[in-house]
Amino acid sequence: MPLKELGEATYQELAALMHEAVGLSFPAAKKPLIASRLAPRVQRLGLDSYEAYVALIAGGDDGGEFQMAVDLLTTNETYFFREPAHFDLLESELSHSRPQRLRLWSAASSFGDEAYSLAMLLSDLQQTGRIGADWSILGTDISERVLRSAVEAIYPEERLRHVTPERLKRYCLRGSEGSAGLVQMQARLREHVGFGQLNLCRPIEELGPFDAIFLRNVLIYFDAPTKQAVVERVLTQLRPGGLFFIGTAEGRVPGVAGLQVLSPGAFRKVAA
């Protein structure tokens, strides 16, 4: 049976549900995209309408289907050392300050590419004596599925296309035979990186203070008030003088005070 078209009322109900639960903002123009992303899942479940699917995920006992819908509706495309200018800035700052203890937070870590990119950089800095050995990285995301993948730390080689040959040799294990084309982060790198589930649109427990926070390429999913609230919530976990990064295409969040612009998408938290 062909799937019925996603009606306007059902789309508005879905959009309201996603906004209330996880802060996602879906304007009217995104209805065709949302329908195309959900269609295969709706059909796989044997449902004949989007209405039935929205009713399922709105219920209290959905068997984890709401989380599946969130995964389908958010783009998790990422790769190692995305937006390299941010990593260069972090390296420059740390090389100057030479901290002996470091805590970094990848606040929308997806599959972990960003967190392990940071781990490679910090490990390099430690080996050259520019930072101490006491450093760690926390990666958080709302999706359990991507976090499970991040803990495994196995990636297609294509995702590491911006990793230098020296770092590939130093930090990665290449698969062979049935695992050809895959790369796993070495255990000595993984031991510095931890992951946990977190909804940025809910109160955040005391995770910090962190010396740098990366909140990149997630604000695009939120409307303006939610963006401001999320950024202000996240910044409570950043120490004064710490570095804060968002995606370069995300601009500057209006209404958020206490940030000094360093470069596109890069800021310093000004001491109160």
- Check residue 35 and report its DSSP letter: H
Length of the chain in terms of residues written: 272
Residue in 105, 93, 84 with CA at minimum distance from that of residue 161: 84
Helices (H), 45-172: 50-58, 65-73, 84-97, 113-127, 144-152, 165-171
Check: CB of residue 201 under 8 Å from CB of residue 230. yes
List Cβ<8 Å contacts ≥24 apart for 12-19: 13/54, 13/58, 14/50, 14/54, 17/54, 17/57, 17/58, 18/69, 18/70, 18/73, 19/223, 19/226
Cis before 209 (ω within 30): yes
Assess whether 134 carries a catalytic annotation: no
Paired tokens of 220: 């695009």
To the query of whether residue 37 is one of the catalytic residues in this protein, the response is yes
Residue tagged active-site, from 82, 103, 141, 190: 141
- Residue from 244, 195, 240, 248 nearest 217 by CA: 248
> Known catalytic residues?
37, 141
